[in-house]
Structure 1
Amino acid sequence: MKKPEVKKSKQNKSDGQRGQDATDNNEKHEIRPGQSLELLKELHILTRDGKLNQDSRRKLKQVYHLYQFIEPLLESLQKDHADISLVDHGAGKSYLGFILYDLFFKVGQSQSKAHIYGIETRDELVQRSTELARRLNFPGMSFLTLSVADSITSDQLPDRIDIVTALHACDTATDDAIQFALKKKARFMVLVPCCQAEIAAELRKNKGDAVRNNPLSEMWRHPIHTREFGSQITNVLRCLQLEAHGYQVRVTELVGWEHSMKNELIIAEYKGLPAKRPAERLAEVLKTTGLESMQRRFFVTP
């Protein structure tokens, strides 16, 4: 009996099509329902033909990982009022702001007066983000060409802000963001500090004087330890400062940001907690490490 002819090329094509369908389905599952594909293309998370490569898949994972920390804070605020205000310091290309708006604020934008402000020093990025928000019809987004320090006194921002974010704001810019949030009586802060150089310089300057008889100074005696300890103690001082202002502080790791060693995530919520003990500890740490000159930066009273 003659065996039936197998049309291999057709079978192979079918297999290839099934493989492509499986890839498309996997990519659809990785992108959240309702997510703007045009936005993801503009942010270079999706290719122009709507595909995810390895690098863009990593970026998407990072953004969603951060979003899962911020979403519950926004939901908590939304229970109290709809017109949530958020300021993103050092916004850059405003990845975070756009993703937050797209996933959380876009659905109710016609009824809500919620607003996201992106603060960035590079005017070309501010103009690009402004144009993108207009093109996507995101009316609740605006962008300002300001430094974090200048934003503290700027009249272009409301007197009160609900949530302040600062991701990889370099060195003292994170402290400026904290000062901004304290002035604006922010209920939440989400901070990923970066490049803490100021404290390390101060530790080097005072290494032979104020801490001469302090055995703990061995923790920063060697130059490489000075840099590492300076980074660590900076964030410890920031947490104590926030607690001294009545905030409840949680420190965790921003998993998935393998491209950066600076992945410490600080989340602070104002609770009106007792502030005396943290303030005393803050003063003690500054004295013990010979950093009394930093009291103005890590202030306790506004």
Structure 2
Amino acid sequence: MTLELQPENFSIRAQKWWTPEKIKKLMGEKNYTITPLNAPQLLRSLGLLNSDASMSPDSVKKFIQINHMFNLLEEHFAELIKRHKVVRILDAGCGKSYLTFLLAWCFKEKWNHTAEIIGVDTNTKIINDCKQRAQNLGFADVLKFETASLFTYKWTHEKRPNAVIALHACDTATDMALALAIKEKADFIAVAPCCQAELARKWKENKISHPLTPVFNTPQVRREIAAQFTDMFRISLTRANGYEVTATEFVPSTHTPKNRLLTCIRRGNNLETAEKEFASMKDHLGGATILLEELLQKESI
């Protein structure tokens, strides 16, 4: 590490760059948890701050996105802190782990609470990069990363995860994350689905006569409607397995169209009405299902 990029020097540089006027322009009236002033090294490590401590327009969008998502989730993690001496979190399909690193920072710097956070992804290079960043930031005691597929990943640790998050896990990876979380009876689940293509593929192959045949045969409409019903299937199945589920927009659609966040709180009792709602929806939509139903049946949860 060069002298100019050592933590203490970069922090001084960030303090000088981010004047009150620049902070006001960046954050407006928002009260973000992570800022260039209180966590410059973290934001630099995530690639959101340049070497001179400035922030590019694309980085500003990502900065706003991860802070806004954290604000939506913070109360849930605060509740877990009240209930557990050690909060165990699985980031399923962690990718570059923006939110994961933000959580690690909060547990160490803001909450001063013991946590064990594991990020899992199939991309070995990304996992190795995350391991190195965790080491450089001094987060290795909180953050661990593993290369694995969600389809075969098993939670092998002594105690169950208290929370499972899966942000932009593509297509059926979201179903795998939900099935794992439900099987392990995680207290809290947060998923932001994207690229919901499975149901659309099945509708395309549907050759039966059906009132929705015009939808099935119109690619752009088929993709959009299938994505909406995929998430409704997920909501109903998760509710049926004992969770209270809330769907919310976590980022304005001007930033990204992939902006639905499902937050799920375990209540413990399976909900028969949700099972019936799912079965009815599936029947009315031609009988095609999603991987989540198959995984939940397979695991016999």
Paired with 1:66 and 1:108, the residues of 2 have a C-alpha distance of 18
Paired with 2:108 and 2:259, the residues of 1 have a C-alpha distance of 26
The equivalent of 1:4 in structure 2 is none
**Unaligned segments of structure 2, at least 5 residues:** 1-14, 28-33
Paired with 1:129 and 1:85, the residues of 2 have a C-alpha distance of 18
The 3 A distance-change label for structure 1 pair 163 and 240 is: same
Paired with 1:80 and 1:253, the residues of 2 have a C-alpha distance of 27
Paired with 2:289 and 2:247, the residues of 1 have a C-alpha distance of 26
1:126 to partner: Cα distance? 1.2
TM-score for the superposition, normalised by structure 1: 0.82
The 3 A distance-change label for structure 1 pair 108 and 215 is: closer
**Superposition pairs of residues 244-255 of structure 1, within 5 angstroms:** 244-255=240-251
The equivalent of 1:183 in structure 2 is 183
- What percentage of residue pairs aligned between the two structures are identical? 31
Q: Alignment length, in residue pairs?
A: 275
The equivalent of 1:172 in structure 2 is 172
Contact 1:65-1:256 within 8 A present in 2 as well: no
Say if 2:222 is the partner of 1:230: no
The equivalent of 1:204 in structure 2 is 204
Instruction: Please state whether the residue corresponding to 1:115 is helix, strand or coil.
Output: strand
1:150 to partner: Cα distance? 2.1
Paired with 1:95 and 1:154, the residues of 2 have a C-alpha distance of 22
Contact 2:248-2:261 within 8 A present in 1 as well: yes
**Superposition pairs of residues 61-140 of structure 1, within 5 angstroms:** 61-107=64-110, 112-138=113-139, 139-140=141-142
Contact 2:199-2:289 within 8 A present in 1 as well: no
1:272 to partner: Cα distance? 2.6
Say if 2:268 is the partner of 1:272: yes
Coordinate RMSD, CA, aligned = 2.5
Aligned residue type for 2:211: P
Paired with 2:235 and 2:289, the residues of 1 have a C-alpha distance of 18
The 3 A distance-change label for structure 1 pair 215 and 290 is: closer
Aligned residue type for 1:117: I
1:103 to partner: Cα distance? 2.5
1:28 to partner: Cα distance? 4.6
**Larger CA Rg, structure 1 vs 2:** 1
1:274 to partner: Cα distance? 5.1
Say if 2:7 is the partner of 1:25: no
Paired with 2:48 and 2:250, the residues of 1 have a C-alpha distance of 19
Match of 2:44 among 33, 41, 46: 41
**Unaligned segments of structure 1, at least 5 residues:** 1-19
Paired with 1:27 and 1:117, the residues of 2 have a C-alpha distance of 35
Paired with 1:194 and 1:63, the residues of 2 have a C-alpha distance of 16
